[in-house]
Structure 1
Amino acid sequence: MALLTTTGAKSGNPATTPITYYRDGDRILLIASNFGRTKHPAWYHNVRKNPTVTLEIGTETLTARATITEGDERDRLFAEVVARQPGYAEYQKHIDRVIPVVAFDVLQRRP
């Protein structure tokens, strides 16, 4: 689990969300599944407007920049995550929206 702190797209206030994360090399991946709901989670809207975030993983605090993956890259990453966590495929079956995969590049690490 990670703690993701974003800046609110509308409010400008910080918001922290506990979330499962995955790794793709040096990048951190988050899946904007919203537990299979029909709308994207609030944190997804926040990173679209304000892509620089804080991630707390274990004892490390990371400053990272979000990129919303698209096309073949999104499909590849989603398939890799589904291989580890098949529940995401079930979520995708029951909703019309494409579940986003957001990749975070670490800009700074702090203990």
Structure 2
Amino acid sequence: MTAIGTRVVQKVSSTRAFARVAPRVVPALDRAVHRLTRGKVLLSALMLPGVILTSTGARSGLARRTPLACMPETGGRSWILVGSNFGREGHPAWSHNLLAHPEADINRKGADIPVTAVLLEGDEREAVWRELVAFWPPYATYQGRVLREIRLFRIARR
């Protein structure tokens, strides 16, 4: 994507209208395209790197598949997942699942990878938050709209 295209996408994704529509549309499209391409393509990955997270439901115990944007960390063995929920109140369900069951799997570019999730807190969270906002500025807009602290998880290969 071009620099201009990226800025346009960032501006659009920061709007409240996007926050109302995206949670219904983006994951459904991502799941469908991911399934049709046998795990090779995520539409949202045209904007940001992405994974399909398979976590265990906190209450149900059932497998839950969620397409998510991520920030890869140096070395390719860990990623940051952001519980922004598109700047809406309430933590996303997948974040509750990871708190209850930190062992999960991701599918990245067609490869299944077992991971363990760790909730980032304190100074470590703040350092990663600064990197994350530099990586994708709309996250700062999302945080500004909500009273809760957006959860950040580091997921690393098991």
Q: TM-score range with shorter-chain normalisation?
A: over 0.9
Pick one of 52, 56, 63 that aligns with 1:3. Answer: 52
Structure richer in helix, relative to its length: 2
Match of 1:55 in 2: 106
Unmatched tracts of structure 1, length 5 or more: none
Instruction: Note the 1:18-97 alignment, pairs <5 A.
Output: 18-25=67-74, 26-97=77-148
Q: Which has the higher strand share?
A: 1
TM-score, with structure 2 as normaliser: 0.66
Q: CA RMSD in A?
A: 0.8
Structure possessing the higher radius of gyration over alpha carbons: 2
Identity of aligned residues (%): 36
Could you tell me how far apart the structure 2 residues matched to 1:73 and 1:5 are?
A: 25
1:84 to partner: Cα distance:
1.3
Runs of 4+ in 1 over 2 A off after TM superposition: none
AA at the equivalent of 1:100: R
Give the structure-1-normalised TM-score: 0.93
CA distance, structure 1, for counterparts of residue 126 and residue 72 of structure 2: 15
Count of aligned pairs? 107
Structure 2 segments unaligned to the other structure (5+ residues): 1-49
